[in-house]
Amino acid sequence: MPSQPTLALFDLDHTLLPMDSDVAWAEELVRRGVVDAEWHRQRNDHFFAQYKAGTLDIDAFLAFQLGPLAAHPRGTLEAWRAEFFAREIAPRVLPQALALVDRHQKEGALCAIVTATNEFITAPIAKAFGVSHLIATQVETTEQGEFTGRPRGLPSFREGKVTRVQQWLATMDLGLESFHASYFYSDSVNDLPLLTKVTHAVAVNPDARLAQHALEMGWPVVDLFASKDAA
């Protein structure tokens, strides 16, 4: 098996982005009046609280998150996404996060964004960071390319991130053991399964539980958005 210099993996929401793109997209649907505002916000808040607590029911969440995609034509959704990206996401792709990714790329690392957020939302965000490899929750489509409202394959969440990364590396005849050094940057205790698989785990803007675990393990802790420019 060929030996590679380094592997650099990045979580997205609250790691590279100072926000949650899942939550923001749900708010976008509310803003457009295409979902019931009170019910949608209640469910959005419910699942976000579960996520922060490390107890997210991923199947129930994906049914909630992906369901609206099946209710609208693909072209309409993509137009909404373009406006959403320009207004909500692009201003929050901040220099310090871009610099972190760029540093690894300039060092020749194989880089990927590994996120539980679905590929429809995150594909343009990965492109904005200049990362060509995106490991996100996949979305099922019909033969005509329209969304069914269901996930496809294993969600990229908790232990699923480990499996999806391993599957991706296997397409290049690689494994995590192929690298002299492997990095994973994350904010969430939900990412402990993958954080414990790499040689260099880095807690970025960590939640309280991950911060405590990082302290106990001696992992570096980075506050990527500490500057006033991140507000």
Q: Per residue in 103-161, pLDDT tens? A: 999 999 999 999 999 999 999 999 999 999 999 999 999 999 999 999 999 999 999 99
Q: Is residue 173 predicted with pLDDT exceeding 90?
A: yes
Q: Is residue 187 predicted with pLDDT exceeding 90?
A: yes
Q: How many CB atoms lie within 10 A of CB 78?
A: 12
Cβ–Cβ under 8 Å, residues 14 and 24? no
Domains: count for the chain: 1
Query: What's the whole-number mean pLDDT along residues 51-79?
Result: 92
Q: What is the domain extent for residue 124?
A: 4-230
Cβ–Cβ under 8 Å, residues 165 and 112? yes
Active-site pick, 13, 20, 187, 191:
13
Q: How many CB atoms lie within 10 A of CB 174?
A: 18
pLDDT over 90 percentage in the chain = 86
0.85 exceeded by pTM: yes
13 catalytically annotated: yes
45 catalytically annotated: no
CATH of the domain at 191: 3.40.50.1000
Nearest to 113 by CA among 11, 17, 197: 11
Which pLDDT tens digit goes with each residue over 116-126?
Answer: 999 999 999 99
Which pLDDT tens digit goes with each residue over 4-37?
Answer: 689 999 999 999 999 999 889 999 999 999 999 9
